[in-house]
C-alpha cells in the first residue's frame, strides 16, 4: 500500500493529468482557424476570429500535448515499477 505522502502525490499527479487533458481539448478547439461540421449535420463556427490568438492557442495546444505525452509515459513507467519491482498490486487496483 502507498504511504500517506505517496497517496497525496498520486492524487496531485492525477489532477494534473486531468487538467492537461482539459487544456489539450480546450486549446485544440480554440486554435481552429476555420469552422467545422460534425457528420455534416452540426456546423460549428470558428470560435475565435483573431489569427494571433489562434496561434497562441496552437502553441498552448502543442506544449500541453507534449506535457500530456510525457505524463502518459511516466504513468506507464510508474505502473511497471510498482507492479514488477515493488510487487504492489497496482494493476489489480486499476481494474
2 pLDDT exceeds 70? no
pLDDT-derived band at 80, boundaries 50, 70, 90? confident
Residues 28 and 61 sit within 8 Å (Cβ to Cβ): yes
Which one is predicted more confidently, 79 or 88? Answer: 79
The string of pLDDT tens digits covering residues 21-68 is 999 999 999 999 888 888 988 888 888 999 999 999 999 999 999 999
Which one is predicted more confidently, 82 or 64? Answer: 64
94 pLDDT exceeds 70? no
Closest CA relative to residue 24, chosen from 36, 16, 14, 33: 16
Amino acid at each position: 500500500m502507498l504511504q500517506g505522502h505517496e497517496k497525496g502525490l498520486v492524487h496531485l499527479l492525477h489532477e494534473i493529468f486531468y487538467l492537461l487533458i482539459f487544456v489539450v481539448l480546450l486549446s485544440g478547439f480554440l486554435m481552429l482557424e476555420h469552422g467545422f461540421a460534425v457528420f455534416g449535420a452540426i456546423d460549428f463556427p470558428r470560435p475565435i476570429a483573431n489569427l494571433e490568438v489562434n496561434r497562441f492557442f496552437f502553441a498552448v495546444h502543442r506544449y500541453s500535448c507534449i506535457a500530456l505525452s510525457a505524463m502518459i509515459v511516466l504513468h506507464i513507467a510508474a505502473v511497471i515499477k510498482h507492479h514488477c519491482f515493488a510487487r504492489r498490486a497496482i494493476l489489480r487496483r486499476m481494474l
